[in-house]
Amino acid sequence: MDLSRATWRKSSRSNSGGNCVEVAQNLPGAALLRDSKLGTDSPVLAVSPNHFTAFLDALKSDRLDG
């Protein structure tokens, strides 16, 4: 997958901290996640947009228990 066109973003709540999760959702068929402290050297996790949406919904509704 060509990541050169990925547009990465992180939460506005992360301020200038370097330990954040960045997300790119502008490439077709994938939601991409990486660790901001490693930048372009970070490994990238690619998941389907549907799975990423389900994960976010679970986070927002507090359905994830350790």
User: What pLDDT band is residue 66 in, cutting at 50, 70 and 90?
Assistant: low
Residue 64 located in a structural domain: no
Residue 32 located in a structural domain: yes
Residue 14 located in a structural domain: yes
Residue 66 located in a structural domain: no
User: What pLDDT band is residue 63 in, cutting at 50, 70 and 90?
Assistant: confident
Summarised one tens digit per residue, pLDDT across range 12-44 is 887 776 789 999 999 999 999 999 888 889 999
Per-residue pLDDT at 9: 92
- 15 burial (CB, 10 Å; 0-12 / 13-18 / 19+) is exposed
The total number of structural domains in the chain stands at 1
Residue 39 located in a structural domain: yes
Per-residue pLDDT at 17: 66
| C-alpha distances in Å from residue 3, one per residue of 7, 36, 40, 46, 56 | 9, 15, 10, 11, 22
User: What pLDDT band is residue 62 in, cutting at 50, 70 and 90?
Assistant: confident
Name the helix (H) or strand (E) containing 3. none
Which range of residues forms the domain containing residue 18?
Answer: 9-59
